[in-house]
């Protein structure tokens, strides 16, 4: 087999259910084969087509000739003192992305990346500071879940629930890579694949309003809004996309999203607390007022430091005071505990390992192009 043949093989990990059905129709097979493949690949973690025993030998041979199951390469894995696990994954020729598994008492949450870098360029985010490199393809997004699920050992235990929740909160703005992200989330919630309930798959967004409306037409996963400021003046500074889609437009689109779901939803609002910037009691009051229009709970995230940022994490007392005020107003308000920061796996610290000057320049250029396109 030469390199050319390898390259031209279809990666089954990168096909949605619909694309798999179309693929089987195109080779003269019945579309239900798609479900069989999804079960083998995503439910059981099998990468070897010859093991797919409910397909005829002839079909397996045909598939082996034309297809493969190629997961992204893990180049580095590290376990934090608190049990958080971080993987650095190579995608394509040179790009690196990160994913993080956060085990807790009764659940384990996998934090998945959707892009290499990010064009939104929030002032407090290490990924944003890195600039935008490129969108991830479906195989690279769902491949993260596949790799993490297989890390618990093969064959996968039937009905094992090692990963109970997935959050699209790794590198990138998921709504700026719409189709692959939606296809990946569909596989996460497919009973024949990862079988997670739609409430356990969370998409976090900085607020790409038209894409929230588009999402409401095709999905009803949990939506989390990265708000971080209670007024437009401050949010323009922290989350620059706010200049295009200001707070009220954003909250209106969230209301439309919630209305389109067939169950009652409380939206999670993420709010990073940065010392002396957005963590005054006056900000808490403004936030409490603002959110009266939307059933919401608030997740406070003390800023995680990274090299090159002048922002500081507020003291525990300031964080508590902010939380207490919102609780008194009747909001469920939690403080996100920092996990994995000894291995740079905490929120906002995800940058991939390689970050040299030339690549920064290349990314800055692409960043400009994507920002213009938003
Ligand atoms: N782009 C999406 C999803 C990825 S960011 C979004 O912004 O929602 C995931 C979360 O990490 C967001 O809530 C983001 O605000 C938070 N985050 C980014 N940088 C951080 C930092 N330095 N400290 C703490 N949280 C951070
Ligand atoms: Fe992008 Fe989210 Fe980071 Fe903002 S916080 S730069 S949207 S990854």
Domains and CATH numbers, the chain: 10-68 (1.10.150.530), 73-367 (3.20.20.70)
Distance 123 CA to ligand 2 centre (A): 9
* 98 catalytically annotated: yes
Per-residue pLDDT for 340 more than 90? no
Taken as a whole, the chain contains a residue count of 374
The predicted structure's pLDDT at residue 350: 53
How do residues 172-222 score in pLDDT, each as one tens digit?
999 999 999 999 999 999 999 999 999 999 999 999 999 999 999 999 999
Which of the ligands is closest to the CA of residue 177?
1
Q: Does residue 205 line the site of ligand 1, with CB under 6 A? A: yes
Q: Exactly one of 98, 140, 173, 270 is catalytic; name it.
A: 98
Instruction: State whether the Cα torsion 291-296-302-303 is positive or negative.
Output: negative
How high does pLDDT run on average in the chain?
90
The confidence score (pLDDT) of residue 366 equals: 54
- Min mean pLDDT across 78-82, 270-274, 294-298, 316-320 is at 78-82
Buried b (16+ CB within 10 A) or exposed e, 237-266: bbbbbbeebbbeebbebbeebbeebeeebe
pLDDT-derived band at 354, boundaries 50, 70, 90: very low
Question: Is 122 a residue of the active site?
Answer: no
Task: Please name which ligand lies nearest the alpha carbon of 301.
Answer: 1
Q: What's the pLDDT score for residue 356? A: 41
52 CA distance to ligand 2 centroid (A)?
40
Q: Is residue 305 scored above 90 in pLDDT?
A: no
Decide whether any atom of ligand 2 lies within 6 Å of the 118 Cβ: yes
pLDDT score, position 153: 87
The residue ranking higher by pLDDT, 99 or 226, is 226
Q: How far is the CA of 114 from the centre of ligand 1 (A)?
A: 13
Q: Give the model's pLDDT for residue 7.
A: 53
Q: What is the mean pLDDT of residues 327-336?
A: 96
**Per-residue pLDDT for 258 more than 60?**
yes
Q: 202: Cβ below 6 Å to ligand 1?
A: no
Q: Does the model's pTM come out above 0.85?
A: yes
Ligand 2 atom closest to Cα of residue 348 = 3
| Residue matched to tokens 């707070």 | 247
Mutate to test the pocket of ligand 2, among 99, 100, 117, 118 (most ligand atoms within 8 A of CB): 118
Question: Is 70 exceeded by the pLDDT of residue 100?
Answer: yes
Among 171, 245, 270, say which to mutate for ligand 1: greatest number of ligand atoms within 8 Å of CB.
270
- Give me the pLDDT at residue 357, please: 43
Name the 3-class secondary structure at 15: coil
Mean pLDDT for the stretch of residues 214-240? 97
Q: Is the pLDDT of residue 359 over 50?
A: no
From the alpha carbon of 225, which atom of ligand 1 is closest? 8
* 106 CA from centroid of ligand 1 (Å): 24
Give the mean pLDDT of 271-295: 98
Catalytic residue among 67, 118, 125, 347: 347
Contacts of 117 (CB under 8 A, 6+ apart): 127, 128, 130, 131, 132, 133, 134, 171, 172, 363, 367
Which ligand has the shortest distance to the CA of 168?
1
What percent of the chain clears pLDDT 70, i.e. is strictly above it?
Answer: 88
95 Cβ below 6 A of ligand 2: no
Range list of H helices, 131-245? 138-150, 178-189, 209-218, 232-238
Is the pLDDT reported for residue 161 higher than 80?
no
Report d(CA 196, CA 78) in Å as an integer. 25
């Amino acid at each position: 087999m030469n390199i050319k043949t390898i390259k031209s093989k279809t990666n089954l990990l990168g096909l949605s259910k619909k694309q798999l059905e179309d693929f089987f129709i195109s080779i003269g097979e019945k579309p239900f084969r798609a479900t069989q493949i999804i079960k083998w690949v995503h439910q059981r973690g099998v990468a070897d087509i010859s093991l797919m025993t409910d397909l005829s030998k002839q079909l397996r041979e045909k598939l082996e000739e034309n297809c493969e199951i190629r997961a992204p390469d893990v180049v580095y894995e590290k376990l934090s003192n608190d049990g958080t696990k971080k993987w650095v994954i190579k995608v394509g020729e040179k790009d690196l992305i990160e994913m993080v598994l956060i085990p807790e008492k009764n659940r384990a949450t996998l934090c998945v990346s959707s892009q290499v870098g990010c064009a939104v360029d929030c002032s407090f985010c290490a990924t944003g500071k890195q600039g935008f490199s490129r969108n991830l393809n479906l195989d690279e997004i769902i491949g993260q879940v596949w790799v993490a699920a297989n890390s618990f050992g093969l064959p996968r235990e039937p009905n094992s629930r090692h990963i109970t929740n997935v959050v699209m909160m790794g590198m990138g703005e998921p709504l700026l890579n719409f189709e692959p992200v939606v296809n990946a989330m569909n596989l996460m919630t497919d009973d024949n694949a990862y079988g997670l309930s739609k409430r356990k798959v969370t998409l976090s967004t900085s607020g790409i309003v038209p894409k929230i409306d588009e999402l409401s037409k095709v999905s009803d996963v949990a939506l989390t809004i990265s708000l971080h400021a209670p007024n437009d003046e401050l949010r323009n500074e922290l989350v620059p996309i706010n200049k295009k889609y200001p707070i009220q437009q954003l909250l209106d689109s969230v209301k439309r999203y919630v209305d389109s779901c067939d169950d009652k939803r409380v939206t999670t609002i993420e709010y990073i607390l940065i010392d002396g910037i957005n963590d005054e009691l006056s900000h808490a009051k403004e936030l409490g007022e603002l959110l009266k229009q939307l059933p919401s709970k608030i997740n406070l995230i003390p800023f995680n430091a990274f090299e090159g940022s002048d922002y500081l994490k507020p003291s525990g007392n300031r964080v508590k005071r902010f939380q207490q005020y919102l609780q008194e107003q009747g909001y469920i308000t939690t403080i996100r505990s920092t996990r994995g920061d000894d291995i740079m796996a905490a929120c906002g610290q995800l940058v991939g390992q390689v970050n040299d000057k030339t690549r920064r320049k290349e990314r800055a250029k692409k960043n400009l192009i994507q920002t213009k396109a938003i």
